[in-house]
Structure 1
Amino acid sequence: MDPLKILLRSLLLFALALQAQQEDVAFGWESGEQLTWEDFKAAPPTDKTIAATTASGLSYSFKTRGGPGEYRLDYEVIAYFYPEKSWYHPELCDAMVLKHEQLHFDISEIFARKMRKILSERTFKGNVRAEIRSIFSEINKELSAYQDRYDLETDFSRNREGQLRWNKKIAEKLERTSQ
């Protein structure tokens, strides 16, 4: 076979493998985008007491500018969804369950916005890395408690009236808070 054809085929296979690999990685929250069941790639457990699980969380990065005692930040805080850690039992799930899972991701975005707001308003004076780590830790504690409260008050989407209240509550919070 022609060496050029071999090279082109190899590049095509490499590109397809890279694309497949990229499709399985975490992705960030986007306004107007909704999760679909195809985003849930992990195998569900055999125990069927829980219909689905959304793995989402926050990630941050930053660079400092300014001088000691007056550090300002260039930062990025992102709410991520992790397909390879998220799963569902198709026979137990419907549109309401998917909406419930979407709200878990939306709640992560609300706390990402909270962290962005804190970082945008603060001047850092000491150990910037430790201060940001402390903020991140506190935000994650609040996020976890809020996610637990959401599941409790909606009974994991089984309480339809509770789920509808939370749908409205989270939509309003996303509307009120800036990106």
Structure 2
Amino acid sequence: MLTLNLVLLLLHLLLPAAEAPLVLRPVAAGFGPALFSVAAVRDERPGRPAVALLLPAAPAAGTATVAQPAELRNGTAAALQQFAAATLPAATTGRYPITLRVLELQVRETPGPNGAANGTIALHLAFEWRNPEGRSIMLTEYRGAARYGRARASRAVVETALSQALLGGLRHFNGWLATAAAHDVRLATAVQPTFRYDTRQTEPDTLFYDPAHPLAWADFTGMPRSKGQYAAAVFPSFGYRTRPRVRQGVVVLDIELQVYVVRTSSWVAEGQRTAYNLNHEQRHFDIVQLVAERFRRKVGPDSLTVADYQSILGWQYLDSFREMNRLQDQYDRETSGGTDADAQNRWNQRIAADLRGFGVIKQGE
């Protein structure tokens, strides 16, 4: 028992004594407004060693100078969060609540001339944001370094230098946010789709839907079928193109809808160029326009997320494409390909009413 106690005593004497905790005092930020707040701090340093190894104020005579460990008061995570809260401009509420990840934070001292201490500070921080959709997003990192010299009797220089090094990280991130918020999709909080239709009439083989330019027999340039139950055939479809851009933290998603007919895929049999037959084919075109209008309403701001807006848009498009094919089959089946005049008239009225309801054509048309 005596031997064990003696060993423990010797170990205690040989290990460097811990210095009193360092205090991070708030400093003037020198920038504003603060675009973020530090909601949490995670100390992710491997092994979480002592933040500082400081030379003692007065080493014992005849002994080697050994740096002594010193921690931050209240621990690294709590000390940094308190420092950020006290240092960041208090007049504004941070728009982005950030988790500050401490990857490296160390102060190391070596003996300098005339009994002074020379110190180096190494800092590596990562800034992570949990967006409104609940996803944790790594934004950027900061690496910093600093040097200082001090008289051994005063530790205030250490605390000031460390506070300034940390302020450099906060200032850097605020500047990064100010630039990135305008264009970085990771910082977006919502998606705002905007729609427009392609109504160009300049493509030689493509007719885009435009109420002012309905189908004409001149648009049916394909080779007529020699046999079959149909007097004419048109194959309309629709697609879309997107152009996302970030503006003030919102993904503005410009969506161009294209409802079209390919002229060389459309044909009319000899002797069948009647107004009645042309109306039947026009209604096929109108049905696709109605499907596109319903597609527009499926992909409003409430249905799109920043993380998955493209996949959500694609899924809704495929669903609408299936709806288009189903309606086209139903239309031909119920009108017997246009030969049932009564059924055709009912579909004419139904389609016209829906077009008016969506504002594609005016009331009374």
TM-score by length of 2: 0.40
CA contact (8 A) 1:63 1:74 kept: yes
Deviations 1:137-158 (A, max 9, x none): 0000001101111111111110
Query: 2:217 is matched with which residue: 8, 13, 37?
Result: 37
Alignment partners' CA distance in 2, 1:27 and 1:108: 13
User: Cα distance, 1:71 vs. partner?
Assistant: 4.0
- Which of residues 292, 310, 323 is equivalent to 1:112? 292
For residues 90-118 of structure 1, what are the alpha-carbon distances to aligned partners after superposition, in whole Å with 9 as ceiling and x for unaligned? Answer: 32342111100000001111111112222
Instruction: Please say if 1:168 is aligned against 2:349.
Output: yes
For residues 61-92 of structure 1, the C-alpha deviation after alignment (integer angstroms, 9 at most, x for no partner) is: 1122349x964411111211110111110323
How many residues in Structure 1 have an aligned counterpart in Structure 2?
A: 157
Percentage of matched positions with identical amino acids: 27
Alignment of 1:1-179 (within 5 A): 24-66=204-246, 71-121=251-301, 122-179=303-360
Deviation for aligned residue 1:29: 0.7
Give the SS at the match of 1:155: helix
Q: Is the 8 A contact 1:56 1:82 kept in 2?
A: yes
Distance 2:223 2:232 in 1: 10
Unaligned runs of 5+ in 2: 1-201, 361-365
Q: Secondary structure of the residue that 2:290 maps to in structure 1?
A: helix
Task: Answer 1 or 2: which has greater strand percent.
Answer: 2
Bigger Cα displacement from structure 2, 41-50 vs 53-62: 41-50
Shift of 1:169: 0.6
Match in the other structure for 1:3: none
SS of the residue corresponding to residue 164 of structure 1 reads: helix
Contact 1:78 1:109 in 2 (8 A): no
C-alpha RMSD of the superposition: 2.1
Moved over 3 A (4+): 69-72
Q: Which has the higher helix share?
A: 1
For the 8 Å contact 1:73–1:119, the answer to whether it is kept is no
TM-score, with length taken from structure 1:
0.79
Letter paired with 2:353 = E
Q: In structure 1, what is the Cα distance between the partners aligned to 2:315 and 2:277?
A: 34
Shift of 1:40: 0.3
The answer on whether the counterparts of 1:72 and 1:124 sit within 8 Å (CA) in structure 2 is no
Contact 1:70 1:124 in 2 (8 A): no
Q: Shift in Å at residue 45 of structure 1? A: 2.0
| Contact residue 57 and residue 81 of structure 1 kept, 8 A | yes
Contact 1:29 1:80 in 2 (8 A): yes
Q: Distance in 2 between matches of 1:37 and 1:90?
A: 12
| Partner-residue secondary structure (3-state), 2:289 | helix
Q: Which one-letter code corresponds to 1:130 in the other structure?
A: S
The 1-side partners of 2:286 and 2:209 are apart by: 8
5+ residue gaps, structure 1, are: 1-21
